[in-house]
C-alpha cells in the first residue's frame, strides 16, 4: 500500500516531517523548523517506501484538534482523520496561534511546532490512520475557535476568568519551543516534571529563580503548561516506543543470531561507501563500544584526512546504521558547550554516541572536551560572578572528524586515530561510483532495526591473560603506550562480543563471554589501525613520516631541503611529534660542518605488536619469524618453564635449541604431537 498526501493538505504553505515507520516520533533535527512541502521528492520517496509522515501545525495557519477521548464534546464538519488508536484529528485553518492540553487527557490543540501523524500512516499498534470525513478544511475565526475550546483547556490562573486568560494568550504570540522570557525556567520546570514533582512542589522550587519569583502568575502558568505539554507528549512517545520495541521480531532475531552479522553490516555500508574496507570495519566496530558497559574509557575515534576526502560522508553513513535515539550529532560546537550541554535535564551520556563534525584545534585542547572524552565530571563554572557546580553524567562514545588539527598526547590517550585512503586509485573508484549514481541505495531496514534490540552488557574475555603472556614474551613492557594499546585491544574484543551478544554465552543477566570470533574480528581491525591509531598519526604526520622513511637518517635541515612542502618551523613540529609517538629517535652528534652538536633523527623500527592466531594463543606459544633471505620458517618455542629446563639439561641442547616448522602452525593435533616429542 502506497501512502499519499491527501488533496486537502496539498497546500504549498503547509509543511510535513518524516516519522519513523510505524511510529509517531520525528527523527530529524529541527523538524519543526525545516519541514517539507507536500511535493518534496525526499518526502514522497520516504513515504512511498513505507515511512510515516507528520503534519506540522502552524504553517499556513493550519491547526489540528487532537481528540483522544470520546468524552471531548467537539465535533466539526471539516477534514477529519480517524487515528490508529480510535481518536480523531480535526483539521482547521485559523489565526489562533497557541497550543493547549485539554482536561482529563481528552486531547490537545496542535497549533504551533507540534505535529500529528498523517492519513495513510501506520500506528504503532498496527492500525492505519484513515480519512473519516473527506471534506475541505474548515476556516474559523480566532474568536470562534477560542469559544469552541475554552471550556476544555487545562489552566491554573486562580480566579481569573478562562476567557480573559485566553484573551491574554491570544494577544501575545508565543513562538518556538520556549514560551517563557528565559529558557532557563522552561528547562528547569521540564527537568522537575521528569523527576515526578507536582505543580505545587515545582512552584516552590522555582522561587529560587529571580525572574520566576517576581513574574506575574500568567507568566509562571504559561511556562509550566508549555513544559507540561511537552512532557506529556514525551511520555506518550516513550510509552509507544517501549510497546513497539520490547521484543524483536523473528526476522530481527535471525539477523542478530547470524554468525556473519558483522560482515552483513559491512555489506550494508558498501551500499553507501566506495572502498575504505578497513576504515569501515574499524569505525563501525569502535562505535559498538556504546553497548559495552565495563570499559573504563570509551573507545573514541578521530577520523583524520585531507579536506574533501569524504570523512563526514563516511561517518554519517556509518552513524545511520545505529539507532537514532542514541546519537547526538553536531556540526558546530564551542568548548564551553561541553559544560552546559544537557545541563538541567535528567540525562546520562552512558549508552550514547556523540558525533562532532570537523572540529577545531581549540576544541581538542579544551579541558572540558578532554574530560568529556574520558569520564563524567563535576565542573565548576562562574555564572553572574557566582561559582556553580554542574555535573556531567556518564561517558559517551565519541566520533569526531578533522582535517587541520594536531592531537597532543592527552588526546592520543583518549582517541584512536583512523585515516582514509587518499590514493588516486580510491579517487578514481569514487568518481566512477558517482558517475554510476550508486550512492542512493537504502540500507536494509531489517538490519537497522535489529541493532535497536542490543543491550549494554559487561564482557568477560577468558583469554585476556593469554594475550598478556604473549606480549610479555615478545614485546618490551618498558613502552608506556602498551598500557593504552592493550586496553584498546581488549575493548575491541568486547565491541565484537556485544555486537554478537545474541550468540554469546551468558554468565549472568548482565555479562557475556567473548569467543574466538571476537578475537579474530578485533585482530583484523587492529592490524589496520595500530600503524596509525596506536602511533597517533594524523594524515599530515603520516605524510611527514613517509618522507622520513625515504631518508632513514637525517637532520631537520636535510629533511626540509628534500621535502619543502612546509616550512622548516613546521618540520620541527612534525619531528617533535614523531619522536613523542616513538616513530623517530633523536640524538646529538658533532659534525665536521658545525662546531656545535646537531640533532640527528633516525627511523624507529619498532612496528607495534602483531598477534598470533587463536590456536597459538591458547597454546601459550611464542611465535618468531626467521629473518633470512631464503626462508619464511616459523620458530615455535614451548612456553613451559619445565620443558625449557629439561631441554637445557639435554646434552644436545646447543645443537637443537629450537624446533622449526614450515609456515604457520594451525593444526592443533599436529602441534600437540610436536610438543610431546619436544618433551621427550
Strands 622-625 and 597-603: unpaired
**Dihedral sign of CA atoms 392, 394, 400, 404 in order:** positive
pLDDT reported for residue 250: 85
pLDDT reported for residue 450: 87
pLDDT reported for residue 193: 86
- Report, as an integer, the average pLDDT of 658-673: 44
Length of the chain: 680
What phi and psi, each to the nearest 5 degrees, are found at residue 291? -100, 5
Q: How far apart are CA 597 and CA 651, in angstroms?
A: 53
**Where is 131: in which H helix or E strand?**
strand 130-133
Q: Which residue has the cell 631541503?
A: 561
- Report, as an integer, the average pLDDT of 34-61: 89
pLDDT reported for residue 231: 82
- Report, as an integer, the average pLDDT of 205-226: 78
pLDDT reported for residue 4: 86
Q: How far apart are CA 251 and CA 447, in angstroms?
A: 9
Report whether pLDDT(155) > 70: no
pLDDT reported for residue 15: 93
- Report, as an integer, the average pLDDT of 64-84: 89
Is the model more confident about 161 or about 438?
438
- Report, as an integer, the average pLDDT of 280-299: 85
- Report, as an integer, the average pLDDT of 315-332: 85
Cβ–Cβ under 8 Å, residues 30 and 80: no
**Dihedral sign of CA atoms 106, 109, 113, 118 in order:** positive
- Report, as an integer, the average pLDDT of 199-222: 79
Query: Rounded to 5, what percent of the chain is helix, strand, coil?
Result: 40, 20, 40
Q: Is 566 exposed, middle or buried (0-12, 13-18, 19+ CB in 10 A)?
A: middle
What phi and psi, each to the nearest 5 degrees, are found at residue 122? -110, 125
pLDDT digits (tens, 9 = 90+) for 571-613: 888 888 788 767 788 888 777 666 677 888 887 755 555 666 6
pLDDT digits (tens, 9 = 90+) for 533-544: 445 566 677 778
pLDDT reported for residue 210: 66
pLDDT reported for residue 658: 39
pLDDT reported for residue 172: 37
pLDDT reported for residue 7: 92
Q: How far apart are CA 176 and CA 99, in angstroms?
A: 11
pLDDT reported for residue 251: 86
Q: How far apart are CA 387 and CA 375, in angstroms?
A: 22
Report whether pLDDT(312) > 80: yes
pLDDT reported for residue 557: 84
Q: What is the pTM of this model?
A: 0.52
pLDDT bin (cut points 50, 70, 90) of residue 428 is: confident
pLDDT reported for residue 14: 93
Residue 186 has which C-alpha cell? 522552561
Instruction: Tell me the domains of the chain and their CATH numbers.
Output: 7-176 (3.30.2250), 181-246 (no CATH), 255-434+442-529 (3.40.50.300), 539-603 (1.10.10.10), 614-679 (no CATH)
pLDDT reported for residue 408: 67
pLDDT reported for residue 594: 65
Query: CA 405 from chain center: how many Å?
Result: 21
pLDDT bin (cut points 50, 70, 90) of residue 9 is: very high
Q: How far apart are CA 365 and CA 220, in angstroms?
A: 41
* SS3 category, 63: strand
Poorest-confidence range of 138-142, 235-239, 653-657?
653-657
Q: What is the DSSP string of 164-208?
A: HHHHHHHHS---SS--SSSHHHHHHHHHHHHTT--HHHHHHHGGG
pLDDT reported for residue 121: 92
| Mean model confidence pLDDT for the chain | 76
Poorest-confidence range of 49-63, 150-164, 279-293, 651-665?
651-665
Report whether pLDDT(673) > 70: no
Cβ–Cβ under 8 Å, residues 549 and 604: no
Three-state secondary structure of 660-674? EECCCCCCHHHHHHH
pLDDT reported for residue 639: 40
Is the model more confident about 290 or about 161?
290
pLDDT reported for residue 381: 63
pLDDT reported for residue 354: 87
Cβ–Cβ under 8 Å, residues 300 and 399: yes
Is the model more confident about 22 or about 650?
22
Poorest-confidence range of 256-265, 450-459, 528-537, 563-572?
528-537
Q: What is the radius of gyration, based on Cα positions, of the chain?
A: 32
Is the model more confident about 173 or about 412?
412
- Count Cβ neighbours within 10 Å for each residue of 141-175 and write b for 16 or more, e otherwise: eeeebbebbeebbebebeeeeeeebbeebbeeebe
Which alpha helices (DSSP H) does 306-358 contain, by range? 311-319, 337-340
Strands 386-392 and 377-383: antiparallel
Minimal CA–CA distance to 401: which of 357, 338, 364? 357
347, HSE (Cβ side, Cα atoms, 13 Å)? 21
pLDDT reported for residue 323: 86
pLDDT digits (tens, 9 = 90+) for 488-500: 888 889 999 999 9
Report whether pLDDT(162) > 50: no
Query: CA 569 from chain center: how many Å?
Result: 37
Amino acid at each position: 500500500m502506497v501512502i499519499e498526501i491527501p488533496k486537502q493538505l496539498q497546500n504549498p504553505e503547509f509543511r510535513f516531517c518524516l516519522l519513523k515507520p510505524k511510529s509517531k516520533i520525528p527523527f530529524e533535527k529541527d523538524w519543526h523548523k525545516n519541514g517539507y512541502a507536500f511535493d518534496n521528492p525526499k518526502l514522497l520517496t520516504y513515504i512511498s517506501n513505507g515511512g510515516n509522515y507528520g503534519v506540522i501545525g502552524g504553517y499556513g495557519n493550519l491547526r489540528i484538534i487532537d481528540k483522544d477521548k470520546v468524552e471531548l464534546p467537539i465535533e466539526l464538519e471539516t477534514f477529519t482523520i480517524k487515528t490508529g488508536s480510535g481518536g480523531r484529528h480535526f483539521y482547521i485553518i485559523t489565526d489562533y496561534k497557541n497550543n493547549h492540553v485539554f482536561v482529563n487527557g481528552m486531547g490537545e490543540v496542535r497549533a504551533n511546532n507540534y505535529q500529528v501523524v498523517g492519513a495513510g500512516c501506520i500506528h504503532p499498534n498496527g492500525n492505519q490512520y484513515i480519512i473519516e470525513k473527506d471534506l475541505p478544511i474548515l476556516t474559523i475565526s480566532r474568536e470562534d475557535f477560542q469559544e469552541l475550546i475554552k471550556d476544555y483547556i487545562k489552566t491554573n490562573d486562580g480566579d481569573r476568568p478562562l476567557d480573559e486568560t485566553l484573551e491574554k494568550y491570544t494577544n501575545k504570540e508565543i513562538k518556538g519551543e520556549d514560551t517563557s522570557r528565559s529558557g532557563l525556567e522552561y528547562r528547569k520546570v521540564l527537568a522537575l516534571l521528569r523527576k515526578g514533582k507536582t505543580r505545587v512542589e515545582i512552584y516552590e522550587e522555582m522561587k529560587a529563580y529571580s525572574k520566576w519569583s517576581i513574574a506575574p502568575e500568567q507568566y509562571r502558568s504559561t511556562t509550566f503548561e508549555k513544559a507540561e505539554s511537552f512532557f506529556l507528549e514525551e511520555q506518550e512517545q516513550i510509552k509507544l516506543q517501549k510497546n513497539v520495541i520490547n521484543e524483536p521480531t523473528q526476522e530481527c532475531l535471525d539477523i542478530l543470531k547470524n554468525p556473519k552479522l558483522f560482515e552483513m553490516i559491512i555489506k550494508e555500508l558498501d551500499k553507501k561507501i566506495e572502498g575504505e574496507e578497513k576504515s569501515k570495519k574499524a569505525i563501525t566496530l569502535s562505535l559498538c563500544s556504546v553497548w559495552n558497559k565495563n570499559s573504563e574509557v570509551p573507545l573514541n575515534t578521530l577520523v583524520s584526512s585531507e579536506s574533501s576526502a569524504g570523512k563526514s560522508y563516511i561517518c554519517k553513513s556509518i552513524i545511520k546504521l545505529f539507532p537514532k535515539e542514541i546519537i547526538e550529532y553536531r556540526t558546530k560546537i564551542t568548548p564551553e558547550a561541553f559544560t552546559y550541554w544537557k545541563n538541567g535535564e535528567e540525562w546520562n551520556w552512558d549508552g550514547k554516541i556523540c558525533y562532532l563534525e570537523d572540529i577545531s584545534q581549540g576544541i581538542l585542547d579544551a579541558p572540558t572536551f578532554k574530560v568529556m572524552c574520558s569520564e563524567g565530571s563535576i565542573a565548576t563554572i562562574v555564572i553572574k560572578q557566582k561559582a556553580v557546580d554542574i555535573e556531567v553524567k556518564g561517558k559517551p562514545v565519541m566520533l569526531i572528524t578533522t582535517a587541520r588539527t594536531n592531537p597532543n598526547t592527552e588526546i592520543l590517550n583518549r582517541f584512536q586515530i583512523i585515516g582514509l585512503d587518499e590514493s588516486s586509485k580510491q579517487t578514481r573508484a569514487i568518481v566512477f561510483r558517482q558517475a554510476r549514481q550508486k550512492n542512493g541505495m537504502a540500507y536494509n531496514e531489517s538490519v537497522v532495526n535489529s541493532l535497536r534490540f542490543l543491550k549494554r552488557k559487561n564482557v568477560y574475555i577468558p583469554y585476556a591473560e593469554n594475550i598478556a603472556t604473549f606480549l610479555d614474551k615478545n614485546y618490551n613492557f618498558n613502552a608506556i603506550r602498551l598500557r593504552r594499546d592493550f586496553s584498546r585491544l581488549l575493548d575491541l574484543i568486547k565491541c565484537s562480543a556485544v555486537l554478537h551478544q545474541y550468540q554469546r554465552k551468558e554468565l549472568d543477566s548482565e555479562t557475556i563471554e567473548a569467543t574466538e570470533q571476537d578475537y579474530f574480528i578485533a585482530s583484523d581491525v587492529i592490524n589496520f589501525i595500530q600503524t596509525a591509531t596506536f602511533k597517533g598519526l594524523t594524515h599530515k604526520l603520516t605524510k611527514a613520516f613517509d618522507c622520513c622513511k625515504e631518508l632513514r637518517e637525517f637532520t631537520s635541515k636535510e629533511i626540509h631541503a628534500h621535502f619543502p612542502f612546509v616550512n622548516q618551523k613546521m618540520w620541527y613540529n612534525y619531528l617533535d611529534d614523531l619522536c613523542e609517538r616513538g616513530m623517530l629517535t633523536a640524538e646529538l652528534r658533532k659534525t665536521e660542518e658545525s662546531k656545535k652538536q646537531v640533532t640527528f633523527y633516525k627511523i624507529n623500527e619498532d612496528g607495534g605488536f602483531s598477534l598470533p592466531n587463536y590456536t597459538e594463543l591458547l597454546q601459550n606459544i611464542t611465535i618468531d619469524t626467521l629473518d633470512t633471505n631464503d626462508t619464511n620458517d616459523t620458530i615455535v618455542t614451548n612456553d613451559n618453564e619445565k620443558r625449557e629446563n629439561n631441554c637445557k639439561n639435554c646434552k644436545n641442547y646447543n645443537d637443537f635449541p629450537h624446533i622449526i616448522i614450515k609456515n604457520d602452525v594451525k593444526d592443533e593435533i599436529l602441534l600437540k604431537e610436536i610438543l610431546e616429542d619436544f618433551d621427550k
